[in-house]
Amino acid sequence: MPPAEPLEPFESLVQLAGQGDRAAASRLCERFAPAVRSFARRRLVATEAVNEFTQDVMLVLVEALVTKKLEQPERLPGFVLGICKNLARDRARQRERRAALFDEYAAALASLTPEVTEKPTYEILHLEDCLTGLSQRARDVVRLAFGEAKSHGDIARELSLSEGNVRVLRHRSLAALRDCMSRRISWEAA
């Protein structure tokens, strides 16, 4: 794997975004998207709802960036978390405001829209390869937890396991998959 290039400090990106650089705003959205999705997943089940929540957060963030609402760039992480908390508190009232923001700033969010593809990407092929190295029970846990977004309790019931066992299996499977996916596809390894 090639070494990753050092990332631009987020404070610089905030300043650039405030000067009208939409690409800088977009890079900030990309950087926060996994954290925002994680925040949403704790509270929402359906992937579509998680995607919509993430988009809503990013629309508010982009607006705040381009209108320089954030006076202290170093406070960006807490600012984004604050947007998440506010939106989680009042989802209904946001729907109207969302439509207006979407018209104005949708372009900055283009890179966040998950690609729906019928062809498997390299990443998917890699995951398929790694999954074959797990036990069937571990594969079942990954399918239910990540492919079907089932709750802990539902997974435990479906697999006739205790919730504690499901947690252990999830953690072990995640660690194994992360380890496997940090290498090349097994067939490619030199």
Partner 1 sequence: MSDASSTDPPDALGALDALGALDDYTSGLMPEADAEAFEEGLFARAARGEAAEADFTESLRRGAEWINRRGSFEVGSTRAQVDQLLASGARITYMDFGDCKQPVDIPPLAPDLELFIYRVGVDLRGEDYDTIDVVVETATGEYIKTFRDVRYDTTDGAFYGVCEAPLAEISFRRGTAISKVMIGRGTERRHVATLETRPLASAR
Binding site for partner 1 (CB under 8 A): 7, 9-10, 31-35, 37-39, 41-42, 47, 76-78, 80-81, 84, 114, 117, 119-120, 123-125, 127-140, 142-143, 145-149, 151-152, 167-181, 185-189
Integer angstrom CA distances of residue 163 from 144, 156, 169: 14, 5, 10
Nearer to partner 1, 71 or 103 (CB): 71
Nearer to partner 1, 68 or 178 (CB): 178
In whole angstroms, how close is the CB of 100 to partner 1 at the nearest point? 26
In whole angstroms, how close is the CB of 131 to partner 1 at the nearest point? 7
Of 102, 64, 68, 104, residue with least CA distance to 84: 64
In whole angstroms, how close is the CB of 57 to partner 1 at the nearest point? 11
Nearer to partner 1, 92 or 189 (CB): 189
Q: How many CB atoms lie within 10 A of CB 60?
A: 23
Token pair, residue 13, equals 């990106």
The SS3 of residue 117 is coil
Query: Is the separation of the CB atoms in 177 and 124 below 8 Å?
Result: no
CA angle 56, 108, 32 (to 5 degrees): 60
Nearer to partner 1, 7 or 92 (CB): 7
Nearer to partner 1, 2 or 96 (CB): 2
In whole angstroms, how close is the CB of 96 to partner 1 at the nearest point? 27
- 39 CB-contact burial (10 Å; exposed 0-12 / middle 13-18 / buried 19+): buried
In whole angstroms, how close is the CB of 8 to partner 1 at the nearest point? 9
